[in-house]
Structure 1
Amino acid sequence: MNFDQKCFTSNFPGGTRCVRVDLHLHTLVDQEFKYSFPKNGEAFIHAYIQQLKEQAIRIGAITNHNKFDQEEFKKLSQEGAKEGILLLPGVELSVAEGRSGIHVLVIFSPEAVRPAKGESTNAIEKFLTIAFGNKPRFDDQGYPGLCALNLEETIQQLDEFQVPYFVVLAHADQDKGFFKELRGSRIKDFLRRGFFRTKILALQDLAYEKYKLDWQMWVKEIAREEGKNERNYQPALIRASDPKNLAEVGRKYTCLKVGELSFDALKFALAQHELRACPGCILPVQYPHIKRVAAETEKMLKGAEVFFNPALNNFIGIRGSGKSALIETIRYALDLEAKADVDYKDGLLQNAVGSGGKIVLDVYARGQDYHIERIYGERPKVYREGEYIPHLHPREIFPVVYYGQKDLQKQVENKPLQLELIDQFIQEPLAAIRQQIKDLEDKIREKINALESLRKKVARKQEFSEKRAALEEKIAIFQNLQIAGKLKKEANFKRDELALERVEYLLLKWNDSLNTLKNEIGEDYSSILPLESAENPRLFEELKIILEDLFIVFNGKVKDLEQAIQSARKRFLRLKKSFQAEKEKILEEVAQIKRQIDISVVSPDDYGKLIKELEQVKVLQKELEKYEGRVRQLHQQKEQLYGELQRLWHQEWLTRKEKAGEVNNAQNLVHLEVIYKGDKEQFVNVLQHVFQGTGIRRDRLEKVARYYQDGIEILRALDERERFLSFGFTEKEWLKFYERAREQEKLLGLYRVPDTLEIKYGGQSISRLSLGQRASALLILLLSFENMPVIVDQPEDDLDSQTIYHGLIKELVKLKRKRQIIFATHNPNIPVLGDCEQVAVFSYGDNQIGIDKGSIDHKAIQQSIVEIMEGGREAFNKRKEIYNLWISWI
């Protein structure tokens, strides 16, 4: 039979995927199958495949009772191949077991259909001939009869044919079913013989609860008896249609994850059903993931294209084959920061993509597809449905966790950096809090600046008092000499002139304030427009009218005020002109009085100046009284802002604490605790910087840092002299501390004492663990957070093999169902034991990076893993042989 399996391998460019499988199918040649079309008619073949297609079945097994029709199977399989459906040959065999026999499904590799060279009979027909011997396959009424073999003999006979096969126990809890026909002792015999998971790979439609409980009990008993894991005895539990007519074909099915439509992939999926079963319906992946990366360049990545799986993806290849180059290409396309070895990574990009080269990413996020392009040296561009979205950065729609080579080690060794583990997964809520913090900090700085300015003015209170006393003393001389009365008119004019200057200043100030208010309101109004809503158009139209009416009223009032100020200013200028005229009239009169005064002690010209200067000082003193009230008010406002700032710092910690709790609940290996303002060492370092040059020792500052949570608390406690003396401060040191703290209030009060992250792995603090165990803990954390993609270049560089298996692999298997994982790796445990969905094999030659892709179900990928990661087949077999010897001795 000319049937080529390779036609299916291209169906899954993204690697392993879940497909619907129906392993119990009957056709027209089976007496129990009812259909009106002529036997083997083309119409039946077409209708049968279309029914499978409508039910989305991708793998099926034709298992008619006690017979195999090669010609019909050939037509069905060829027609199915056109629709991307793999049909496997098989038979539903009535085996001589129990009271009335049991039905088993024997499913063969397609090679069983092809007769051996020089023969005309295929392996399936040969097997059936031996199985029945002289016994008829059907009774007089056409119903299937029992073969001559029991189940054990059937398996032995199948093994002798050396044709790949596996067995499914059909309708296990119904008539002719395994549990219905056999007793517990016989079932336990089969368990002891090791047939399950090796020969018998599945139980079909085991639904009866009593049989399920009995089965679990027998499995536990035999597992204890033989000292093995219960997993060794547990076959897959599958559903299948066992159709009696066309409408029933494909109605019941099982979902399995396979990397290609092939017998071997199916057999592996059933044997590893814990990894490969897809419970329930096949639902589209909703979490964000990269779908494809491609490079358009003449450099090393020329023609490179990789389709990704939403689960686990591995890049493998010898060192220098280009794995890191593609990892860095993805990082660059997404505009992620290179955390370490920046020059090395830039060099990789230049060699892999180069000037003018373009990187293309197709990603899924927020329920839709996005296309990201980045030309080397330019900014990335984001497209949705082919439309470019200006100013949209990839991280806004597609956040990714990225760790290049050695990045993980750097974070393991640097405790302050470990807090980024949480922060990178809560960027949006933290960004909102930090924006509020920044706004508050700006307001606090304004208050501090205003207070400093006012305090400088208030500090001149004594100066003004002294100046007023001096001026009043000088004026008293004029009064004692009886000159003041003669110059009273000039003094009054000086007072009036000062009042006019004050009014003119206020009119200008009010006009400026009105213009500022007008501009601010206008800008605010413009910023909210246009007011539109797709869901509430009528409501928003009314809202628009409300704001328009308010803005019209506001503009009208502003115009009225502008006109009123202009009018007042014109009237004021007329009054000022009149005042100047009156002043001119008395100037000669005052000058004549001054000429008549014949006193050498004082100058008559000074009296008016002294009076004006005294009035100015009095005005300033009145303002100082207001300033003192304003200082108290600003101080109170600043304290309120400090309180709000501390609340936001605590909110930041609560956000981290909540995320840590989610991670702790998601897995059991690693436990996180976020310590509020826990980095006391960094706090002390900042205090040392602030109080540098004061002579205050570090041990004193350490006591301060232990007692007070932050700089705000220190500022509030500056007057607590006795407290600081109890810390070991001398009187002189306390005064220096007090003065410097006031001088550096902005730095001290706005400093956020960092939170710290306490990580425990297996119940121990990671500070007590090896670097490998620490790296494993951090890697598990990365995989436990959220559902955003994780990209790590060679994570095993920091891990030992035992840690990889017992820590990382077991978590990988669980967590890859919730998020996309992309690893470049040299460790075979990760793709093999992690059941990697998509493997990209890298090679380098002639200045070109080659990439072969496929799931670990592909033979070529399996061979590459053995060659590259195990040192070749010979090394692998030799190591396996030695390990087996060791295990037998242990």
Structure 2
Amino acid sequence: MTIRHIHVEGGFLTGLDLRLKPGLNVLIGARGTGKTSVIELIRYVFGTRSQTAEDAEQSLKHARATLADGEIVLTASDILDEVTLSRTATEDGPRSDGFLTEEPPIIFSQKEIENVALSEQGRLNLIDAFLSDRSETRRHETDIKDRIRALDRLLKPLRTEVTRLEDELAQRAMLTEKVANLERQQAAFRTQNEIDLAKQERVALLSRALNTLAERDAARGQLMEIIGTWAALLTDLPDRYLPDAPEGDAELAALGARFQQATEQAGDALQRMEVIRDDLDVQRQTLRQQRVKIEGSFREARKAIEDAIAGAGVIEKSLHEARRDLARLDILSRTSADRASRLVTLLTERDALLDDLEKLRGLRFRSRADVANRLNLALQPKIKVSITRSARYAAYTRALIENLRGSGLKYNDVAITLAQTVSPRELVRYVENGDFESLARASGLPRDRAVRVINALSDAGTADVLVVTIEDAVRLRLLDGTEYKDISDLSAGQRCTVILPIIFQHSDRILIIDQPEDHIDNAFIVETLIQSLRKRADDTQIILATHNANIPVLGNADWVVQLVSDGRHGSVAIAEPLEGLGAVGAITSIMEGGLRAFRDRASFYDDHAL
């Protein structure tokens, strides 16, 4: 991709009309003429992220202050087409008349070059910038996480229901024994008192009829509860208007129509469920009416037996109630089996997604490791890059702290301990199984604390903990004398001598760098920076803002742009090849201090040659 043209209306650079070329473009000019502003506006119109959150906020403020109430329009070309991007100071993102197939520019401000390697995320961003599929990987990871969270929302109430049903079904053995005892008592009563067999059979028949009606009524009640749950879900679906598809975007319009059809079908499903629920209600009323009639007959028949034999009715009543409770448990048993099967299915689905997530992160780590190896081959022995998998626990620790708040535990200390000893997946397994013994052994926490951790996470939910990313850690080192020093122990200048060679390893993307010479000496510029510039392909665009004459001259700049300012607005004074008279004059006067100063230095070097 190549940036061809930049036009600005409004703000400090109003009227700016700048054309750029493939190869090395150098922005020169006195301080305050707008070099940094041009670079930040390019970042702004592409919507390119800064290396750190702090830098992102400052870059956004700079770009919007430069535009004031104006707009930047940028034209870029890639292998397929020419695309125009534009953005005003008030817009949240750029507008485009097409789609760029290539990666956006890599942009570094002065401060980012100095500080990017001081943060863990900044170092990781340096490596990730070399990954061509990072956006797709990030989207895929987000999709898997969202699906896991959705499953977790289903799992928690389902697990609660399964536990409740199992507790109720635990009464089956006691009820079965109770029925057997009552039946033995009933048989003894019949033998002892020669109960009228016809009356006894009628009571049994009516009892079975009542049990059948109760079972049918309960089954319909279960179905009504399920329909109620589905109806609530469909009723709570968000009611949003679809955004209008951009003019000519038939594919999006077709997808929108399909989505609209799907929402209408959801509404139809809700109506059909309401009809089914009404029919169920009518059937239950009919069943209850039948039950009332049969219960009347049952009471009469039982009273006849009670009149004949004192005490027989008590046994009949108890036996009837016990059989009714057993019938209800039969229904609950089928429901429990269904819910348990559903729970296993959802857990299996979630485990498969977690496996996919781990596989995706493993592939990303291997890609990052490949980048580190390529950088080491290119930059050794001066610079060493190493990467460790899943070594940054900050996000995991934060997720644990949020979920442990209000537990009465010293959650900061507990979260740190858990993050360093138990993986998210292991921790969630312990929580879901209530396995505080294993958690205590794995983490080293006392058993009572492990119990409280499990209770707290069970109440708060574990989805955010389960999907949290434990990022890889990048280490950068510089050979200083005979030993390698970690980048955190280096001066600002030494950090720049590590970062700049890494940045210049990008051979297939636009590089835009603001004043890379700050904090580094001319020897490094000539020996390393210039060599890196010359190694890049002629058609790969680089845009550098600089005050150092070595960069355009020794770097064989393809295009030199001089910016000037009247104090109120910045503008382009010169835009031409390096050999142009205007470019030579600007470099001589601005960067060399004038022809006389240049000649005086040359004479000094000749007179004092080593």
Fold match by TM threshold 0.5: yes
The residue identity in structure 2 corresponding to 1:589 is: S
In 2 relative to 1, CA 816–840 (structure 1 residues): closer, same or farther, beyond 3 Å?
Answer: farther
* Equivalent residue in structure 2 for 1:365, among 50, 75, 78: 78
**Aligned equivalent of 1:22:** none
**Aligned equivalent of 1:430:** 134
Q: Distance in 1 between matches of 2:89 and 2:415?
A: 54
**Aligned equivalent of 1:659:** 371
Q: Distance in 1 between matches of 2:68 and 2:353?
A: 51
In 2 relative to 1, CA 606–866 (structure 1 residues): closer, same or farther, beyond 3 Å?
Answer: farther
Shift of 1:683: 5.4
Q: Distance in 2 between matches of 1:723 and 1:504?
A: 43
In 2 relative to 1, CA 414–886 (structure 1 residues): closer, same or farther, beyond 3 Å?
Answer: farther
The residue identity in structure 1 corresponding to 2:369 is: K
* Equivalent residue in structure 1 for 2:512, among 778, 783, 791: 791
In 2 relative to 1, CA 757–571 (structure 1 residues): closer, same or farther, beyond 3 Å?
Answer: closer
Verify the 8 A CA contact 1:672 1:759 in the aligned structure 2: yes
In 2 relative to 1, CA 453–689 (structure 1 residues): closer, same or farther, beyond 3 Å?
Answer: closer
* Equivalent residue in structure 2 for 1:409, among 114, 138, 141: 114
**Ranges in structure 1 where 5+ consecutive residues have no aligned partner:** 1-287, 384-388, 516-564
Asked if residue 332 in structure 1 is aligned to residue 44 in structure 2, the reply is yes
Q: Distance in 1 between matches of 2:144 and 2:206?
A: 53
The superposition leaves residues 19-42 of structure 1 with CA deviations (integer Å, 9 ceiling, x where unpaired) of: xxxxxxxxxxxxxxxxxxxxxxxx
Verify the 8 A CA contact 2:30 2:564 in the aligned structure 1: yes
In 2 relative to 1, CA 867–750 (structure 1 residues): closer, same or farther, beyond 3 Å?
Answer: same
**Ranges in structure 2 where 5+ consecutive residues have no aligned partner:** 190-194, 232-272
* Equivalent residue in structure 1 for 2:298, among 590, 612, 618: 590
The superposition leaves residues 654-709 of structure 1 with CA deviations (integer Å, 9 ceiling, x where unpaired) of: 2222334444455555443332113256656666666675458959956x66666x
In 2 relative to 1, CA 570–681 (structure 1 residues): closer, same or farther, beyond 3 Å?
Answer: closer
Asked if residue 459 in structure 1 is aligned to residue 176 in structure 2, the reply is no
Q: Distance in 2 between matches of 1:689 and 1:574?
A: 49
Shift of 1:772: 1.7
In 2 relative to 1, CA 787–761 (structure 1 residues): closer, same or farther, beyond 3 Å?
Answer: farther
* Equivalent residue in structure 1 for 2:577, among 838, 855, 862: 855
Verify the 8 A CA contact 1:670 1:781 in the aligned structure 2: no
**Aligned equivalent of 1:749:** 466
The superposition leaves residues 285-325 of structure 1 with CA deviations (integer Å, 9 ceiling, x where unpaired) of: xxx1111112244x432332122121111111121111122
In 2 relative to 1, CA 690–576 (structure 1 residues): closer, same or farther, beyond 3 Å?
Answer: closer
The superposition leaves residues 460-510 of structure 1 with CA deviations (integer Å, 9 ceiling, x where unpaired) of: 333443488479859977995879957434432332223433665688899
Verify the 8 A CA contact 1:772 1:803 in the aligned structure 2: no
**Aligned equivalent of 1:877:** 599
Identity across aligned pairs (percent)? 22
**Aligned equivalent of 2:6:** 293
* Equivalent residue in structure 1 for 2:217, among 501, 504, 507: 501
* Equivalent residue in structure 2 for 1:354, among 60, 68, 71: 68
Higher relative contact order (CA 8 A, sep 6+): 2
Verify the 8 A CA contact 1:490 1:608 in the aligned structure 2: no
The superposition leaves residues 23-75 of structure 1 with CA deviations (integer Å, 9 ceiling, x where unpaired) of: xxxxxxxxxxxxxxxxxxxxxxxxxxxxxxxxxxxxxxxxxxxxxxxxxxxxx
Shift of 1:420: 0.9
Shift of 1:751: 2.2
Question: Which entry has the higher C-alpha Rg, 1 or 2?
Answer: 1
Q: Secondary structure at the match of 1:826?
A: coil
Shift of 1:419: 0.7
The superposition leaves residues 341-379 of structure 1 with CA deviations (integer Å, 9 ceiling, x where unpaired) of: 667655654554332x33222211123322223344345
In 2 relative to 1, CA 368–638 (structure 1 residues): closer, same or farther, beyond 3 Å?
Answer: closer
**Aligned equivalent of 1:491:** 207
Q: Which has the higher helix share?
A: 2
In 2 relative to 1, CA 380–730 (structure 1 residues): closer, same or farther, beyond 3 Å?
Answer: closer
1:417-816 matches, within 5 Å, as 417-426=122-131, 429-460=133-164, 461-466=166-171, 469=174, 473=178, 485=200, 487-501=203-217, 504=220, 586-593=294-301, 597=306, 611-628=323-340, 631=343, 634-665=346-377, 668=380, 670-679=383-392, 693-695=408-410, 698=413, 710-713=423-426, 725=441, 728-736=444-452, 745-762=462-479, 764=484, 765-815=486-536
Q: Secondary structure at the match of 1:788?
A: coil
In 2 relative to 1, CA 678–785 (structure 1 residues): closer, same or farther, beyond 3 Å?
Answer: farther
Q: Distance in 2 between matches of 1:846 and 1:570?
A: 78
Shift of 1:780: 2.2
In 2 relative to 1, CA 795–706 (structure 1 residues): closer, same or farther, beyond 3 Å?
Answer: same
Verify the 8 A CA contact 1:715 1:749 in the aligned structure 2: yes
In 2 relative to 1, CA 341–677 (structure 1 residues): closer, same or farther, beyond 3 Å?
Answer: closer
In 2 relative to 1, CA 330–628 (structure 1 residues): closer, same or farther, beyond 3 Å?
Answer: closer
1:160-199 matches, within 5 Å, as none
Shift of 1:754: 0.6
In 2 relative to 1, CA 833–376 (structure 1 residues): closer, same or farther, beyond 3 Å?
Answer: same
Q: Distance in 1 between matches of 2:287 and 2:524?
A: 95
Verify the 8 A CA contact 1:789 1:819 in the aligned structure 2: yes
Asked if residue 314 in structure 1 is aligned to residue 26 in structure 2, the reply is yes
Provide TM-score, normalisation by structure 2: 0.72
1:207-222 matches, within 5 Å, as none
Verify the 8 A CA contact 2:27 2:35 in the aligned structure 1: yes
Shift of 1:860: 2.3
- Aligned length, in residue pairs: 539
Shift of 1:826: 1.9
Shift of 1:822: 0.8
1:381-396 matches, within 5 Å, as 381-383=95-97, 389=98, 392=99
Verify the 8 A CA contact 1:487 1:607 in the aligned structure 2: no
Q: Secondary structure at the match of 1:361?
A: strand
Asked if residue 865 in structure 1 is aligned to residue 562 in structure 2, the reply is no
